[in-house]
Amino acid sequence: MNPIHESTSCAVAACAEIIGAKWTALLVHDLSEGPRRFSELEHSCAGISPRTLSERLRALEDEGLVERRSYAESPPRVEYELTEKGEALLPIIAEMRQFGHAYLTA
């Protein structure tokens, strides 16, 4: 079991611990459209600092939700893409979006 979940025996709490971190659900949503470069994710999540973006992407990688791919090009290119496990979160993100539209927006 991942150390982040050792203290969490409830599956709902464990899931919330992953996607509840600020920016994480937005990143998963953005990555649902396909592979993205760091700069594209930074632009789509206006207000996120490069450090926070790096931390969130690393956490998603550690959870097996995102795969980081490096390409040996000049200049170097790195892309992030949802894994099968990450794609399994998309229905949850879609429900969050639907709930937000129905109850939280004016």
The domain locations on the chain are 23-104
pLDDT for res 105:
81
Note the pLDDT of residue 2. 58
4-63 tens-digit pLDDT? 555 557 888 888 888 899 999 999 999 999 999 999 999 999 999 999 999 999 999 999
Cα–Cα nearest to 85, from 101, 104, 65, 99? 65
What dotted CATH number matches 23-104? Answer: 1.10.10.10
Q: What is the pLDDT of residue 76?
A: 87
Residue 50: phi and psi, rounded to 5, are -55, -35
The 10s digit of each residue's pLDDT in 67-96 is 999 998 888 899 999 999 999 999 999 999
